[in-house]
Amino acid sequence: MGNRAKKVHSDAAWRKENLREGYTTGACATAATTAAIRALVSGRPVSRVTIDLPARKNVTFRIERCEFLAQNCVRCGVIKNAGDDPDVTHGAEIQATAEWFPSPELIITGGAGVGKVTKPGLPVPVGESAINPVPRRMIAAAARAEAGHRLATQGLKITISVPNGEKIAAETYNPRLGILGGISILGTTGIVKPYSVSAYRASIYVELKVAVANGAAHVVFTTGNRSEMYAQAQYPHLPEMAFLQVGDHLDYALKQARRLKVSRVTLSTMVGKLSKMAQGRFRTHVSDGTIDHDFLATVAADIGAPAEVVAQVRQANTARHTQIILRKVGISGLEAELAQRAAAHARHFAGEAYAVNVLCFSIHGELLGTGEATNGN
């Protein structure tokens, strides 16, 4: 839920080895909570805490701040270290304020810089602070462990806050998901795996689920920032949440669209990735196969290219080079033919569960070709 930066990362980077792991916002919030309550109970500042995370035991966190705001109120902060993951929350201070109050209950809430959920489809109900279930349980367990028997007679309020959290959230998909006013407190394991494919796919699923839960029957899968921007210009009536950057994971996105019962999927891309889709290849990163120039040569022949031009296409350097070769001799229709084949393959891949249309743009945003596959084709 949220905090994914508005950027598509390449699978090549995801496969790098020896990358440093980091800690989730939920882990940092738990460490800050532990320190704040410990200082509140003991009356002494805390500089380090060691806690257990779901995926790792005995993890030590440095406490960046420990402030006694009043006799019954302490605020502590932890600087988030995301390791080598390109997480926009890296370096943010995750703060926890612990405060006694008379009624014997434990309250966990979000303060400044932690978003509020305003749309359904997320793990947190509408109206609550964007603190996901696992971090909430971690924070609650830490609070009970540190406060001990005092919770039988005193209430304890834990407020998680993030200075500059609202500004950080503007660089994520939180606003699109309806999480307003700040970042999310996340993490099921406590550990950030750098460039994690599974995390990226999980983020795609959450964004798609939120879109569907908010009535988006037509969703647009884009392969990058430009293809998203160009598609948004084509469909100004669609809500922002209907546009999802899926990168090289069209296969996963198409399957999840079927699972969530959307009625139409648009694929927005450029000719290189489109040439792969037109072959039914929906894992589109170069590591899963380069451009098939023999295939493009066959398509060129099918749209009327003479033998000598087909031979040139077979020796082309890139799919864009194929476009240039065909344009020079006045042969059009490559993009439309590829888009039509891609639409048919995508619909078949999804088990004919929904209609599919495909948009192929130039690098400058010109719509070069479209294709569609519905019940009738």
What residue ranges of the chain are covered by domains with CATH 3.30.2110.10? 18-192
Measured CA to CA, the distance from residue 315 to residue 324 in angstroms comes to: 13
Quote the tokens at residue 280: 């039914």
In this predicted structure, what is the pLDDT of residue 18? 57
> What does the pLDDT look like over 270-312, one tens digit per residue?
999 999 999 999 987 655 568 899 999 999 999 999 999 999 9
Q: Which residues contact 41 (CB under 8 A, 6 or more apart)?
A: 146, 147, 148, 150
Q: Largest alpha-carbon pair distance within the chain?
A: 88
**Tens digits of per-residue pLDDT, 56-101?**
999 999 999 999 999 899 999 999 998 877 788 999 999 999 999 9
pLDDT at 237: 96
Number of neighbouring beta carbons within 10 Å of residue 316: 19
pLDDT at 200: 80
Quick: pLDDT tens for 327-374: 999 999 999 999 999 999 999 999 999 999 999 999 889 999 999 999
Query: Which amino acid is residue 326, in one-letter code?
Result: L
Q: Categorize the per-residue pLDDT at 30 as very low, low, confident or very high, splitting at 50, 70 and 90.
A: very high
Q: What value does the mean pLDDT take over residues 257-265?
A: 97
The encoded tokens of residue 35 equal: 């320190």
Architecture of domain 18-192: 2-Layer Sandwich (3.30)
Q: Is 195 left (phi over 0), alpha (psi -120 to 50) or beta?
A: left
d(C-alpha 295, C-alpha 308), whole Å: 16
Banded model confidence at residue 14, pLDDT cuts 50, 70, 90: very low
164-193-5-221 Cα dihedral, nearest 10 degrees: -150
Cα 228 to Cα 23, 169, 221, 223, 293, distances in angstroms: 30, 20, 8, 7, 26
* Residue 261 pLDDT exceeds 90: yes
Is pLDDT at 1 greater than 60 in this prediction?
no
Question: What pLDDT, on a 0 to 100 scale, did the predictor assign at position 12?
Answer: 38
pLDDT of residue 337: 98
Q: Give this prediction's pTM.
A: 0.73
Classify each residue of 64-87 as buried b or exposed e, where b means 16 or more C-beta atoms within 10 Å of its C-beta: bebeeeeeebbbbbbbbbbebbeb
Pairing assessment for the beta strands 113-114 and 106-110 based on DSSP bridges: unpaired
The predicted structure's pLDDT at residue 9: 39
Which pLDDT score is estimated for 225? 84
Share of the chain above pLDDT 70, in %: 92
pLDDT (tens digit per residue) in 95-153: 999 999 998 999 999 999 999 999 888 889 999 999 999 999 999 999 999 999 999 99
